[in-house]
Amino acid sequence: MDETAGLGKMPEGKIPELSLMMPAYNEEEVLPLAMKEAFEALEAQVRDWELLIVDDGSTDRTPEILDEWVSRDSRVRVVTNRPNRGYSRALIRGFLACEKDVIFYTDADAQFDLMQMSELYPLIADADMVAGYRTGRQDPWFRLVTSAVYNFIQARVLKVRARDVNCAFKFFRKSFFEKIRLESDGFLIDAELYARADRAGLRWAQGPVRHRPRVEGSTTVKVGTIRETLSELMRLKRMLD
């Protein structure tokens, strides 16, 4: 069987099939917008789709908002972690729960224009993973500095040359997760994705995506200090080696 059949090709101008997966933790303020935009982007760009949200033990109205969407459309699914298990474990569970041949993940914070999915999707024809890198990044200056330092450190430790490691705009072939096993339990899940892809001989590509400011809520993803980042990276390196 040709593993690449149908991947990257867009008959009638639409992506053939896609699982869009979003982790969400206490996102009641921005979640209605994120769900609306995801639904509209899928309807406009994908023929056969599912929208999977991983509720990572939310304690606000996130579960009620998701229940409303599930009742509207059977293509919307929710899996729930109880208690909260953290960003990495939410992503891992979501990746394994997706059912379509191509998986796309983004965060439930509406900071990307999901209408750009069709722009990067064709790259999956020649890759196992396609990652966006943020242009015109709309984050506070201290996050920009932290991100630059993090990209530099992980490149030195893991030997991965990615422009924007933590950009939450990524496509994967479903087979990607049959060839690697993710083990991150901290905040380095994206670094592990790149590192395991490289070590397994999998192919990845990158493309630009526009970044938008958060309109509601605040990030709940833990950002480590430089010391914590180095410690986590060395632990990840030992796992990989």
Task: Write down the pLDDT at residue 233.
Answer: 74
Average confidence (pLDDT) over 30-36: 96
> Residue 57 CA to chain centroid, in angstroms?
18
C-alpha 174/C-alpha 77 separation (Å) is 17
Give the rounded percent of residues in the chain with a pLDDT score beyond 90: 64
Q: Would the pLDDT of 178 be above 70?
A: yes
Sequence ranges of the domains in the chain? 11-240
**3-state secondary structure string across 168-212:** CEEEEECCHHHHCCCCCCCCCHHHHHHHHHHHCCCCEEEEEEEEC
Q: Would the pLDDT of 232 be above 90?
A: no
User: Which pTM does this prediction carry?
Assistant: 0.86
Q: Which of 69-73, 143-147, 189-193 ranks highest by mean pLDDT?
A: 69-73
Task: Write down the pLDDT at residue 1.
Answer: 30
Select the more confidently predicted residue: 159 or 112. Answer: 112
Task: Write down the pLDDT at residue 6.
Answer: 54
How big is the chain, counted in residues? 241
Task: Write down the pLDDT at residue 166.
Answer: 87
Q: At residue 24, what are phi and psi to the nearest 5 degrees?
A: -145, 130
C-alpha 143/C-alpha 219 separation (Å) is 11
Select the more confidently predicted residue: 24 or 161. Answer: 24
C-alpha 8/C-alpha 54 separation (Å) is 26
Q: Would the pLDDT of 179 be above 90?
A: yes
Q: Would the pLDDT of 223 be above 70?
A: no
Per-residue model confidence as pLDDT tens digits over 37-51: 999 999 999 999 999
Average confidence (pLDDT) over 56-85: 96
Average confidence (pLDDT) over 52-57: 97
Task: Write down the pLDDT at residue 3.
Answer: 44
Are the CB atoms for 125 and 9 separated by under 8 Å? yes
DSSP secondary structure string for all residues of the chain: --TTTTTT--GGGSEEEEEEEEEESS-TTTHHHHHHHHHHHHHHHEEEEEEEEEE-S--SSHHHHHHHHHHH-TTEEEEE-SS---HHHHHHHHHHH--SSEEEEE-TT--B-GGGHHHHGGGGGG-SEEEEEEES--S-HHHHHHHHHHHHHHHHHH----S-TT-SEEEEETTHHHH------SS-HHHHHHHHHHHTT--EEEEEEEB----SS---S----HHHHHHHHHHHHHHH-
Average pLDDT of the residues of the chain: 86
Average confidence (pLDDT) over 177-205: 90
Average confidence (pLDDT) over 21-40: 96
Task: Read off the pLDDT band of 238 (50, 70, 90).
Answer: confident
Task: Write down the pLDDT at residue 135.
Answer: 87
- The domain over range 11-240 is classified in CATH as 2.60.40.420: no
